[in-house]
Chain A
């Protein structure tokens, strides 16, 4: 990575133990701003745990997580999840956690941060939040239209197919207006066309707003076309990193996936 690139996130020797079991060991990654970074590895290699640590859901047993908030790096490990969210980092869940009593469109409207209508004093006066809400609704609808899913706007999660639930989980994250998006297996269960549309959408967001993505994925074929750089975890350790084609051809990587 060239020296002029600004980094937005860095983990330094992050380790995590759960009741004596080592889940992550001295993982150090750096994420350039505006990049789309892939995070791959076999199941159980600690990828989701790393996301959990970055977003404050877990506290690292060792190491630190640094984030460029305004113009300086601050430590964000130890902050609470909602505080980290407010700093501009959003994540999606590998097993979707949609809100069951909210319709799809309401789910999509939950994530944008700092909505004026969320304070009590403003909530009771419709005029203060109406405009903002309309714009958000427009945005949500246009995103659904992009995926030809306008018809699910009013459905409840219980009425959706598994693939749609996964898609809504990802789209909900993308509505957030964040600076750093952590997407956990966004392509799982999606058909090829939808997966393509999603990856193009991600690239478009990155190009328009210079925001950063870290994507955990198993569908390596699709992922490699989209990402600029790849990190690979295996048994909690950083096994390889580099440009997509380098990493794919790395014999250790192949061995980790295919087995001895």
Chain B
């Protein structure tokens, strides 16, 4: 039988992580007009950074000889498991550090990337970012330091010392949801502010915005720093949740799924992004259960998912390009205006 609580915790943990990706994508692509077809690049980078810090640093601090027992060997993994169960403070400390480092490094990476691409059209931007994802993946495959094609295993889940899997899963879920809430609040505040207005004006007509005083490249770069940093954080959360990273996890299909989330939910609204993430992660969790009932499929049922999602995406784009939840005028301006109109009359 299916374990409902376990399923829920698992689903919602994935949901929280993907929702961060979706919300940031809606901010950078839906609102600011930076077509990010390389979302997985930042997600993967954050995941690998989180993996490296939570393995190498943890081992090093605990006095393990990382030359003799690097984390991609069995000895390293065993050592990691020992440390993670016996030393909660250290594990949590290193985990927090990894989140911060991930944010900054991935953010800076995104910021630097905007330099060559921000002056050209959205097609170039999309394509170049897509390439970045693939190039990074090629690097991961060829780096023995991060385990090459096999990747790194045994990344400690920061709450594993609690002893009870469901409890540690629940704690991790709460942590992820908290981070999601923080990112959501930041995004929502930006949208309701003059900066949000500027971003939408840049998306509508970046040349007019430039002529009306907006330093378009700089603004886009700063926003991209923020969204890339957050995507990196999502990556670290992911790596520590599934306790492993390998290059096959960070393929372009991931970017595609996140785009599907914001197209279905609404590309211009963070709530829409969250709803899209909710729906798609649920589909992703449920399909394997159904597929296992369907054993007479002569091909891998996994292959049906992208086809299905692609079809939904295209239908949504043709029928409801704004998604399920479309943008309403930011809360503040409207209420202030109404208040002033009441005063006037």
Q: Looking at the complex, which one of B194, B204, B222 makes contact with A117 (CB distance below 8 Å)? A: B194
A213 touches B (CB below 8 Å): no
A123 touches B193 (CB 8 A): yes
A126:B208 contact, CB within 8 angstroms:
no
| B321 touches A (CB below 8 Å) | no
In the complex, identify which listed stretch (B70-78, B245-253, B325-333) lies at the interface while the others stay far away: B325-333
Contact residue among A115, A116, A133, A176 (Cβ-Cβ distance under 8 Å from B333): A133
Chain A nearest Cβ from B89, distance in angstroms: 31
Contact of A97 with B by CB under 8 A? yes
Please determine whether B194 and A129 come into contact, CB atoms closer than 8 angstroms. Answer: yes
B189 and A124 contact, CB distance less than 8 A = yes
The SS class assigned to the B binding surface is: helix
B-contacting 9-mer, from A6-14, A34-42, A78-86, A224-232: A78-86
In the bound complex, do residue B197 and residue A102 qualify as a contact, i.e. CB atoms below 8 Å apart? yes
Q: How far is the CA of A46 from the CA of B278 in the complex (A)?
A: 56
Residue from A106, A120, A145, A153 in contact with B190 in the complex, judged by beta carbons closer than 8 Å: A120
A113 touches B197 (CB 8 A): no
CA gap between A105 and B341 in the complex, in Å: 13
- Chain A residues in 8 Å Cβ range of B193: 117, 122-124, 126, 129
Q: Which of chain B's residues have a CB closer than 8 A to the CB of A71?
A: none
Decide: B332 and A99 in contact? CB cutoff 8 A.
no
CB atoms of B197 and A124 under 8 A apart: no
Q: Indicate if A93 sits at the interface (CB-CB under 8 A).
A: yes
Q: Is A97 touching B329 in the complex (CB atoms < 8 A)?
A: no
- When C-beta atoms are compared, the residue in chain B nearest to A96 turns out to be B208
How far apart sit A81 and B206, CA to CA, in the bound complex (Å)? 12
A180 to chain B, nearest CB (A): 13
Please classify how large the interface on chain A is, using the bins under 10, 10 to 19, 20 to 34, 35 or more: 35 or more
Contact in complex: A101, B189 (CB < 8 Å): no
| Total chain B interface residues with beta-carbon distance under 8 A | 40
From residue B183, how far is it (CB to closest CB) to chain A in Å? Answer: 11
Q: What residues of chain A lie closer than 8 Å to B226, measured between beta carbons?
A: 120
Q: Decide yes or no: A82 and B336 within 8 Å by CB, A99-B205, A118-B195, A123-B196 being known contacts.
A: no
How far is it, in angstroms, between the C-alpha of A153 and the C-alpha of B186 when the chains are bound? 28
Determine if B198 is an interface residue (Cβ-Cβ < 8 Å): yes
- A85 touches which one: B186, B190, B201, B211 (CB < 8 A)? B211
Asked if A48 is at the interface of the complex by the 8 Å CB criterion, the answer is no
Task: Tell me if A138 counts as interface (CB < 8 A to partner B).
Answer: yes
Contact A101-B194, Cβ < 8 Å, known A113-B213, A145-B344:
no
* B216 close to A115 (CB less than 8 A): no
Which residues in A have their C-beta under 8 angstroms from that of B336?
A: 133-134, 137
- Residues from chain A with a CB closer than 8 A to the CB of B216 are 82
Chain A residues whose CB sits within 8 angstroms of the CB of B39 once the complex forms = none
Inter-chain contact B212/A106, CB cutoff 8 Å: no
Contact of A105 among B186, B204, B337 (CB under 8 A): B337
Q: Is A110 interfacial (CB 8 A cutoff)?
A: yes
A176 to B213, CA, bound (A): 10
B210 neighbours in A (Cβ, 8 Å)? 80-82
Complex contact B215–A82 (CB within 8 A): yes
Taking a contact as CB atoms under 8 Å apart, the answer to whether B332 and A133 are in contact is yes
B172-195: CB near A (< 8 Å → 1, else 0) gives 000000000000011001101111
A-chain residues with CB within 8 Å of residue B201 when the two chains form the complex: 99, 102, 110
Evaluate whether A150 and B197 lie within 8 angstroms (CB atoms) in the complex, with A81-B210, A133-B332 already known.
no
Write out, one digit per residue, whether chain A residues 127-159 have a CB within 8 A of any chain B CB (1) or not (0): 001100110011001000100001001100000
Q: Are A120 and B223 in contact (CB under 8 A)?
A: yes
Measured CB to CB, the closest approach of chain A to B140, in angstroms, equals 31
Contact assessment for A81 and B211 in the assembled complex, using a CB-CB cutoff below 8 Å: yes
Contacts of B212 in A (CB 8 A): 85, 90, 110-111, 172, 176
Task: Tell me the chain B residues, 32-59 only, with Cβ under 8 Å from chain A.
Answer: none
B340-A138 in contact (CB<8A): yes
Of chain A, the residue at the smallest CB distance from B322 is A101
Contacts of B196 in A (CB 8 A): 123
- Please list 27 pairs of residues, one from A and one from B, whose beta carbons are closer than 8 Å in the complex, sorted by A's number: A82-B216, A85-B212, A85-B213, A86-B213, A91-B211, A99-B200, A99-B204, A100-B204, A101-B327, A102-B197, A102-B204, A103-B329, A109-B197, A110-B197, A110-B209, A113-B213, A120-B190, A120-B195, A122-B195, A124-B185, A126-B332, A134-B340, A137-B340, A141-B341, A145-B344, A153-B341, A154-B337
